[in-house]
Amino acid sequence: MGAARPLVAITRPAEQAAGLAELLRARGIEPLVAPAIRRVAPASWAPLDRGIELLGRGHYAGVLFTSPAAVASFADRARRAGARVPAGVLVGAVGEGTAAALRAIGLQVDVVPPEGNGEGLAAALIDRLGPRLQGMRFLQPRAAEGRTELSRDLVAAGARVDVVDAYRTLPATAAELAPLRDALGHHGLSAIVFASPSAVRAVHEALGPIPDLPSVAIGGTTAVALQAAGYRRIHVAASPDDEALCRAVLEALGR
Q: What is the pLDDT of residues 59-74, one digit of tens each?
A: 999 999 998 889 999 9
The rounded distance, in Å, linking the Cα atoms of 40 and 175 is: 19
Helix, strand, coil: what percent of the chain each, to 5?
45, 20, 35
pLDDT band at 3 (very low <50, low <70, confident <90, very high): low
Share of the chain above pLDDT 70, in %: 98
Task: Give this prediction's pTM.
Answer: 0.81
pLDDT (0 to 100) of residue 2: 47
Q: What is the pLDDT of residues 195-246, one digit of tens each?
A: 988 899 999 998 888 889 999 999 888 898 999 999 999 999 988 789 999 9
Of 18-27, 40-49, 179-188, the one with minimum mean pLDDT is: 179-188
pLDDT (0 to 100) of residue 186: 73
Q: What is the pLDDT of residues 108-160, one digit of tens each?
A: 999 999 877 899 999 999 999 999 999 999 999 999 988 899 999 999 999 99
pLDDT (0 to 100) of residue 66: 92
Contacts of 234 (CB under 8 A, 6+ apart): 215, 216, 217, 223, 226, 227
pLDDT (0 to 100) of residue 166: 98
What is the distance, to the nearest Å, from the Cα of residue 254 to the centroid of all Cα atoms in its chain? 26
Q: How far is CA 116 from CA 120, 122, 211, 219, 237, in A?
A: 6, 11, 25, 7, 12
pLDDT at residue 4 tops 80: no
Mean pLDDT of the chain: 93
pLDDT (0 to 100) of residue 11: 96
CB 98 within 8 A of CB 174: no
pLDDT (0 to 100) of residue 126: 97
pLDDT (0 to 100) of residue 173: 87
pLDDT at residue 250 tops 60: yes
Which domains, ranges and CATH numbers included, belong to the chain?
A: 7-36+172-252 (3.40.50.10090), 46-167 (3.40.50.10090)
Query: Mean pLDDT across the stretch 157-166?
Result: 98
